[in-house]
């Protein structure tokens, strides 16, 4: 019984201290202009740091995408029709598996990119990806396609057609 009273008094003291600090902080925030300025300044610094961190992450992701595309190009793609079919099915399965796990979006997008490279009608495949691939992976895939000037998408990007849409 004595310990329960001691615990209750301790909890009450801690709670009273927290409430007193909250009241003091609120009063200081409302009445002291220098304190308000320092709070705004700290908030701006924090917002700027978060923005810079996001930009750095974006740059790092773009660099990782660029390296992944270059490595895929260096590794090459199959030339034989049967090898292309097998390669395509393997890459699509890999991409779907990685999307289901949700672990590495760049690797999933790379698998879909490799499948796109060997598919005979890339424009049609992109419309399928648009309906089935998660948005985040699709955005990474779009960056990969944009980095590859050798990927012909026909009228999808305006390449390979004349002004009447005929190849």
Q: Is the pLDDT of residue 71 over 70?
A: yes
Please choose, from the candidates 67, 68, 55, the residue with its C-alpha nearest in 3D space to the C-alpha of residue 110.
68
**What pLDDT is stored for residue 16 in this prediction?**
96
pLDDT digits (tens, 9 = 90+) for 103-122: 788 899 999 999 988 888 88
Residue 144 · residue 65 · CB < 8 Å: yes
Q: Which long-range contacts (CB under 8 A, 24 or more apart) does 152-158 make?
A: 152/122, 153/122, 153/123, 153/126, 154/122, 154/123, 155/123, 156/122, 156/123, 156/126
pTM equals: 0.63
Give the pLDDT confidence score for residue 89 in this predicted structure: 92
Q: Encoding tokens for residue 85?
A: 């079919």
Q: Rounded mean pLDDT of 151-161?
A: 48
pLDDT of amino acid 13 = 96
Q: Considering the chain, what is the average pLDDT of its residues?
A: 85
How would residue 1 be classed by pLDDT, with cut points 50, 70 and 90? low
Res 83 pLDDT > 70:
yes
Residue 102's pLDDT is what? 78
* 167 has pLDDT over 50: no
Q: What is the pLDDT of residue 159?
A: 40
User: Are 95 and 122 a contacting pair, CB within 8 Å?
Assistant: no
- State mean pLDDT over 68-87: 87
Q: Which residue has the tokens 């992701």?
A: 61
Mean pLDDT, to the nearest integer, of 12-24? 94
Domain map of the chain by residue range?
Answer: 49-156
- Mean pLDDT calculated for residue range 56-84: 88
Torsion sign (Cα): 87, 150, 68, 58: negative
């Amino acid at each position: 019984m004595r310990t329960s009273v001691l615990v209750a008094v301790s909890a009450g003291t801690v709670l009273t201290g927290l409430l007193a600090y909250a009241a003091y902080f609120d009063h200081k925030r409302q009445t002291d202009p220098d304190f308000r300025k320092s709070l705004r300044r700290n908030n701006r610094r924090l917002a700027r740091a978060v923005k810079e961190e996001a930009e750095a992450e974006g740059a790092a992701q773009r660099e990782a995408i660029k390296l992944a595309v270059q490595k895929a190009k260096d590794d090459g793609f199959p030339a034989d029709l049967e090898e292309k079919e097998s390669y395509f099915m393997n890459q699509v399965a890999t991409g779907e598996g990685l999307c289901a796990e949700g672990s590495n979006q760049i690797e999933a997008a790379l698998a879909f990119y490799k499948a796109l490279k060997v598919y005979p009608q890339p424009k049609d495949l992109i419309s399928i990806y648009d309906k089935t691939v998660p948005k985040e992976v699709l955005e990474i895939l779009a960056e990969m396609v944009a980095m590859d000037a050798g990927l012909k998408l026909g009228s999808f990007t305006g390449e390979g057609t004349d002004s009447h849409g005929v190849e």
